[in-house]
Each structure stands twice: as C-alpha cells, then as structure tokens.
Structure 1
Amino acid sequence: MLKRFLAAALFVLSAGAVQADAVDDLSRLLSGHESAKASFTQFALNGDGARAEDSSGYFMVARPNQFRWITEAPFVQEIVSDGDYIWIHDPDLEQVTRKAANGQSNSAPAMILNGQIEALSKRFTIERIDSNDSGTSLYELRPIDSENSTFTRIRLLFEQQQISELSMEDSLGQRSMLVLHDLEYDPQLADDVFTFEPPAGADVILDPGQ
C-alpha cells in the first residue's frame, strides 16, 4: 500500500513539474513581447477533415487588451479593442456593434495572442507534446472545466520560436485552424491603431450586456 501511495505521489509531482515546465516555456515564447502583427489564413475542418469557410486578413495586438483584427476575404469585417470596448464593424451592413471589453478579452485565442499565460494556465492544463532540434514545438491546452469551455482542445505550433498555427477543436469534433504569416514582434505601430470611430451613417448597436 505504501509503495502504491508513493508511486501515485511521484506521478502527481512529476505531472505537476511537466505542467509547470510547459507553462514556463510557453510564457517565454509568448510573453516576451509587448506587441505583434501578422497576416492570417483561417479555415474550419469538420469531423471528416473537410476544409471549409476560408477567410484571410491581418491583425495587430498589444498588451494588455488591445487588438485590431481585419478580415479581408471572403467579406470585410473589422474588430477593434481599445482596452475599454470592442468594436465590430461590418461595412457591408453599415453596422457597428460595441461591447464592453471586460470578459470579452477572456477568450482563449485573445489570451494566447496577448501572451496572458498566467491567466490561461488557470483555465487550461498546458502540455508540451512534441519538440525537436529543428526548432519546431507543439503545445496542447485542455480546459480544466470542460463543461463550461468553448473548446475541448487547443494546439499551438511554434517554428523557430514563433507561433505559426493555432488549432481549436470543439465538442462536436469541428476544428478551426488559424495559420499566421509574416509574424513580427514589437513592430512600429501608429498611435491610433487601436482607436475606432464609427463611420458616418453607420448604425451603432450597444451590446445589452454592458
């Protein structure tokens, strides 16, 4: 009985150390920069692996909760967070929706791109599942509270110390892939890049939750 207890205790300690190492490694990869920008391709994969819903565009992020996300194809959409509010602009509809930033920035992808690893580790277990000498490493995140999580699994692929892919899987087995291109850390950004003013004539909808 004592041997079983010690074996179980050693396993728990070992698993905790692996988790801590993975969190520390991921923190070094994502938290060492104040801002970033990249272009992206995003698409969905159904349970059979078929690809659909392609979109592309670019984004810029800055700590702690600022970002500008522009989808250029197949339709144009602009999402801007100034830290206080999130603005969603649909030019084709001539419509702008404003939401309070509190809580909205707690989505896993936003936390990842903003390097909020400490907050992320409170909601997900983080494990490094693959790494090699060529500079490629793969991390897997699984929700601690699976019943109240949007995603059942998130995978982050790094190449040469830079994040290149995010794979997010939901409870139905559908995956959303985000592939980053031309990632640049701490770029020169305009002072007003995270400022948004609704265009003249656009309908502004205030989210009732704020």
Structure 2
Amino acid sequence: MRSCVALPNKAVILQRFFSAACLGAVILFSSAANSQSESGADQLRQFVRNSKTAEGDFVQQQLRAPKANEPQDKGLKVVRQTQGHFVFQRPGRFIWDTQKPYEQKLIADGKQLILWDKDLNQATIRPAGQALAATPAAILFGEASLDQHFDLVEGEARLGMQWVALSPKKDPNVKSSNDLPYTKISIGMANGLPKALELIDGLGSVVLVTLDKIQLNVNLPANRFTFTPPAGAEVLRLN
C-alpha cells in the first residue's frame, strides 16, 4: 500500500509535472514535412496557439543519477513511474488522470484545482488563481500567452525530437516567474506535437513526461471537467 503523504504536497508535485503541467498534447498543423522543417520554438508556439482541446496518454518518470555505490555507466535511473490519461480545454481546464500504479486525479475546472485520491477517499480543493499562470502546465493547458511568461531558447535535436528550453521571464511584475521549482524546463517537439517534457530541479532531480496517442481539438461535453467527490469522502478546502 502506498504511504500516506500530506495531500497539499501531492498537489504541488502533480501540478509541477504536468500540469499542467502536465503535464502534455497538440496542434492543427499543415503537414509532417512542414512541421519537421520548423524550429522547435515555432512548433511549440503554433501548438499553443492552435490547440483548443486535446487528450492523450502520458508516462511520467522520476529519474536520478546513480549513487556512489552503483554502476556509473547505466545513466539515469528510474525511481518512480506513473502513467495515465490527460484531457485539456483552453483556457485553464484540464484533467491529469493517473491510473497506474495508483488512481489519482488532478482536475482544473477554470476556477479551482482539485486533487482526488481514490485510495484515501479524499479531495483537496483550492482556488486556481495565478498558481498555473507561469508553470509548465500553462504551456499545454493555459491561455495562448507562452511568450508572456517564458523566453524560448532553441535546443538540440535528440531522440527524434527538436528540443526547446523555456526560461522564465525576469519580470518583477510576474510574481510566479521566480517561484518555479525547476532550474531547467525543456519540451521535445516532433511533427508539430509536444512529445516530451523534461524538468530538472536545483538538486539535479529529473522528471521526464512522455506524451502519446494525442488527439487534437476533440469535442468535449460541457461537464467533462466537473468533479463531485463521492458520498463519504473527506474534503479539504485550502485558501
């Protein structure tokens, strides 16, 4: 059985990773050939601008470097892996549905952020506010204002993707620009679609989120992002 971790910490972790980000998703693009000839930054901007809704699958891995007593030639080691399904609708509505190895949902309905933990039968609810404004989640799930919060820096081509680094704006008027927990945020683009997000914190911990089976501009029911805790569930409301 999973150990019980304070739910606000779980909410922060899930919000970071994909949120919005995550976590992940994709674009009205002209053709694969045209997309491949575009820079990663141009592909990302086009995706954010043109994708109104999307859904797909994700795999999220937490990686670390080998310890001193471990083989040093094995590269980064996977210490935790989750997988599930995401859905989003701009602006600011998304579901990050972790299905394995446990069931947990992070839901943003445009007004509040809800973390539902099935094992604990517990929902934590807090106002969305500006919490998602300049986080990785906003890249995929927020409004089409990417350049308002980040400088896009063209990176290398690797793993079949064109990578682009996102550097938070050094704008004192953007409060959250200095609040991001990551020292490096990178997105791997291929054929106009974000295929991976790589997040590195100040301690060198790496979170890699890969996205798959992405469907663009799907029709979503009006109540798709409505969540009501089941009878008997514990509900925590945070300001």
Shorter-chain TM-score bucket reads 0.7 to 0.9
From 81, 84, 105, the counterpart of 2:111: 84
The equivalent of 2:153 in structure 1 is 127
The equivalent of 1:196 in structure 2 is 227
Task: Compare the two structures and name the one with the higher helix fraction.
Answer: 1
Q: What secondary structure sits across from 1:205 in the alignment?
A: strand
* 8 Å contact from structure 2 (residues 40, 188) kept in 1: no
The equivalent of 1:44 in structure 2 is 62
Gaps of 5+ in 2: 1-38, 67-75, 171-176
**Offset of 1:188 from its aligned partner?**
2.2
2:231 & 2:179 partners in 1: Cα distance?
A: 39
Deviating more after overlay: 182-191 vs 198-207: 182-191
Please give the per-residue CA displacement for 1:19-38, whole angstroms capped at 9, x wherever unaligned.
xx976553213221111101
2:65 & 2:227 partners in 1: Cα distance?
A: 38
Task: Please show how residues 1-210 of structure 1 align to structure 2 within 5 Å.
Answer: 25-48=43-66, 49-106=76-133, 108-114=135-141, 116=143, 118=145, 120-130=146-156, 136-145=161-170, 148-207=179-238, 209=239
**Offset of 1:106 from its aligned partner?**
2.3
Q: What secondary structure sits across from 1:199 in the alignment?
A: coil
User: What's the C-alpha RMSD, in Å, of the aligned pairs?
Assistant: 2.2
TM-score scaled by length of structure 1 = 0.80
Q: What secondary structure sits across from 1:105 in the alignment?
A: coil
Does 1 or 2 have the higher relative contact order (CA < 8 Å, sep 6+)? 2
The equivalent of 2:9 in structure 1 is none
**Offset of 1:75 from its aligned partner?**
0.8
Please give the per-residue CA displacement for 1:44-78, whole angstroms capped at 9, x wherever unaligned.
11134111110000010111010111100111001
Q: What secondary structure sits across from 1:152 in the alignment?
A: strand
Gaps of 5+ in 1: 1-20
TM-score scaled by length of structure 2 = 0.71
Residue identity over aligned pairs, in percent, reads 28
Total equivalences in the alignment = 185
The equivalent of 2:18 in structure 1 is none
- Sort the Cα spacing of 1:78 and 1:98 in 2 relative to 1 into closer, same or farther, 3 A: same
Q: What secondary structure sits across from 2:182 in the alignment?
A: coil
